Structure 1
Amino acid sequence: MPLPPIPSKLPDVGTSIFSVMSQLAAECGAINLAQGFPDYDPPQALTEALARHARTAGHHQYAPMPGLPRLREAISRKTAAVNGVAAPNPDTEITVTSGATEALYAVLAAVVRPGDEVVVLEPAYDLYGPAIRLQGGIPVYVPLRVPEFTPDWDLVKAALSPRTRLLMLNTPHNPSGAVLTAQDLTTLAELLADTTTLVLSDEVYEHMVFDGQRHASALQFPDLAERSFVLSSFGKTYHATGWKVGYCIAPPPLTAEVRRVHQFLTFAVSTPAQHALADVLADAEQYTTLPAFYQHKRDLFGQLMQGSRFELLPTPGSYFQLARYHHISDEGDLAFAQRLTREFGVAVIPVSAFYHHAQDHGLIRFCFAKRDETLTQAAERLRQL
């Protein structure tokens, strides 16, 4: 007897737009400015460290579930130095995860119960909503102001209820590159002061803040830090997205809950990769130079796009650049992105993909984490429109 169809937990969810556009780029031979990954290698010191530890006896078996002690200790020192805060306890406050994606899912699985509400500022990375729903949670979407993509804190306040379990932040923001300020986080701390709402602060682009600004982390605000899970990504920091190594910093009671899930989700992260990251994390130059590195790429792409019919929006952080195309076409953003890939050989992401109801503001997202020659070739094609 044939089995009946299996009811889907996510019947309305298809293949991620990032996979779709990258596949289309491959089929068309297009330059891929869609998916957020560099087309250059990690620092040589890191790849050499990985090779060294891959040849080291004893570095091929499971690492401890929370992460290698030496890596967690290095993360603690780096966090204190970069954020100007007390060093988080590596034993009770830091967990190494299989990328920030696993950390995010582990947090949601640990704290969100059926019927809990989770406030999400939109547009948002497309993982957020489905991961909340898989826990039985209810996403409560609050729109960011367009085109600045800044929060309206009155709307956020109105979205809070006795059922609000968690509020999700992302700064610098994907897809817009907007950056939350210290005043933003102070305001949020005041909004949550009399609540039991937790915070998930996705800070994977923390080292990509431009024009002399400084990254404002939830860790820097005691009233937020005591209720926050702060996520970071070595993949973003070291141009190694395929390594899938990230970490979560949270107070001991919250860390304990994340680890309860993490141990049954992935248990442990690549041992030689953790050793290699611990080696290079001591060299602060590897990440303190990132703002200038990516600001150069942002500015270069902006210069190369002068004379095109695209309207580039301000990008104070991340490695993404939004653009309007209304001088070129009145198509919907998905149709335009697909045509741009097929006919002009440059793949991008339609920003409607970051909205749960596919809200279309006529914006597309470029990733400028590419070699200068890649950006030059892409801009030459884009100026033809």
Structure 2
Amino acid sequence: MPQHDTLRRLFDDAQVRPDLLRQRSPLRWGAFPPGVIPLTAAEPDFPGPRAVTDAVLSAVADGYFPYASPTGSEVLRETFSDVAEARHGIGNHPDRVVPAPGTAAALWGVVRLLCGAGDECIVLDPVDLLFGQAVDAVGARRVYCPVDKRTGHLDPDRLASLITPRTALICLCTPHNPLGTVFGGATLRAVAETAAAHRVPVLSDEVWSEIVYPPRTHVSMASLDTGRSPRVYTVTGLSKTFALPGLRMGFVIAPSAREADALRLAFQRLGATYSMSPFAQAGALAALRLGWPWRNAFLEHLQGLRDHCVERLNAIPGFSCGRPDGTYVLFPDVSATGLSSRAMGAFLLDKARVAVVPGTAEWFGPAAEGNIRISYATSRAVMDEALDRVTRAVEELAPGGPAVLRATGTR
């Protein structure tokens, strides 16, 4: 059988095993009773590349479990830097690569390095909750910059107008979670030039950079040739690309070797051995060297499923869903049903036995109200069953609107 066909079979319906996932996925399947389909956490329901499993098993086979170097292995930093240059045009600078135990940890470390009490940090709205949490944790203040939920447009001039003498950091997310927007070079270049002019560093979260659907392509801000040189901290990881969130594989590409050293010191102050485990590093190296055929087949599966799910969601009364250019999350607008995001989430869990993430301020910022987030990194069979349930529940709701919810006690 040709390799392509073999890889495609890794994402067929039989590969998703709910009984096993309820044991192994505590933030998704294990968080809900049997019978509930969870479309919540953005983690795939498929096993990752076999090469990664083999590398991790080999790393533990001798029974030694040592501490890891806070700087990460030299070969891993060199390999990651090679990949970043080849795939995204970021210059090959291993001395600027800082491994971290996951992308979330990398993001928190950059915010802690650059921001403190009384500072202001520009954060997109809506956007994933990690940005706001990290800003709050250091005592800084969130300054929201809106992103158009319908078009995904970010206005660089609007962002520039939010900069004050207290602005310590601009936080971007591209591809964008939860909208799925892939910001283009013109937008990123405008933001970069503004940041450089005001001497404000940029945190660019690009963890979704390898989940981008043709014909769109990912543009890394750090790869742009601008008139002035902004200080860009590129935060990324391997969890979304290779279905490996539990191995905690994050990286930062700092603007310079000096700033990379400062970030490593910040990580060490957060924890004496604040780094990837040696086994995660073995897995990361295998993914970067051997995981790309798996990723290509995964992306092909996701693109077909994205198109199918968007079509089905737009056929549900009161739902309106755009087609994302990247990520494997959807962010349908459900406001036409008359329900708030929280009420819709509760309704679907109660009546459809489908769990989604409500578009509430604590999850995605104030602008997320009226939407819900759905992860579709699973099989077509799981998604069809979930969407069948949602369709039936919402069609029953439609004639009575919110009165149906009051009758059932849902808020």
Under a length normalisation based on structure 2, what TM-score does the superposition of the two structures give? Answer: 0.82
- In structure 2, what is the equivalent of residue 118 of structure 1? 121
Q: What is the CA–CA distance in structure 1 between the aligned matches of 2:71 and 2:126, rounded to whole Å?
A: 32
| Correspondence for 2:302 among 277, 294, 300 | 294
CA deviation string 1:67-107 (max 9, x = no partner): 1222111101111110134212x2x2111111011111111
Structure in which a larger fraction of residues adopt helix: 2
Answer whether contact 1:297 1:372 (CA < 8 A) is retained. yes
5+ long unaligned stretches in structure 1: 1-18
- In structure 2, what is the equivalent of residue 191 of structure 1? 194
CA deviation string 1:189-211 (max 9, x = no partner): 22123221000000010011113
Q: What is the CA–CA distance in structure 2 between the aligned matches of 1:155 and 1:162, rounded to whole Å?
A: 16
Secondary structure in structure 2 of the residue aligned to 1:324: coil
Answer whether contact 2:100 2:252 (CA < 8 A) is retained. yes
Alignment pair present for 1:319 and 2:350: no
Judged with a 3 Å threshold, the aligned counterparts in structure 2 of structure 1 residues 167 and 306 are, in CA distance, closer, same or farther, namely: closer
1:300-379 to 2 correspondences below 5 Å = 300-305=308-313, 307-309=315-317, 310-327=319-336, 329-353=337-361, 358-359=366-367, 361-379=369-387
Q: What is the CA–CA distance in structure 2 between the aligned matches of 1:20 and 1:278, rounded to whole Å?
A: 26
2:54 maps to amino acid:
E
By relative contact order (CA 8 Å, sep 6+), the higher-ranking structure is 1
Alignment pair present for 1:70 and 2:87: no
Alignment pair present for 1:159 and 2:162: yes
CA deviation string 1:203-226 (max 9, x = no partner): 010011113111011121145875
| Correspondence for 2:247 among 228, 243, 248 | 243
Alignment pair present for 1:100 and 2:110: no
Q: What is the CA–CA distance in structure 1 between the aligned matches of 2:238 and 2:27, rounded to whole Å?
A: 24
Q: What is the CA–CA distance in structure 1 between the aligned matches of 2:241 and 2:221, rounded to whole Å?
A: 18
* TM superposition shift of 1:28: 6.7
| Correspondence for 2:238 among 234, 245, 254 | 234
Superposed CA RMSD in Å reads 2.4
Q: What is the CA–CA distance in structure 1 between the aligned matches of 2:179 and 2:210, rounded to whole Å?
A: 16
* TM superposition shift of 1:127: 1.9
Secondary structure in structure 2 of the residue aligned to 1:312: coil
Under a length normalisation based on structure 1, what TM-score does the superposition of the two structures give? Answer: 0.87
Answer whether contact 1:175 1:354 (CA < 8 A) is retained. no
CA deviation string 1:157-190 (max 9, x = no partner): 1101122111000001111111110111111122
Q: What is the CA–CA distance in structure 1 between the aligned matches of 2:295 and 2:231, rounded to whole Å?
A: 27
Structure 1 range deviating more: 127-136 or 287-296: 287-296
Q: How many residues align?
A: 363
Answer whether contact 2:341 2:370 (CA < 8 A) is retained. yes
* TM superposition shift of 1:359: 4.2
Alignment pair present for 1:275 and 2:294: no
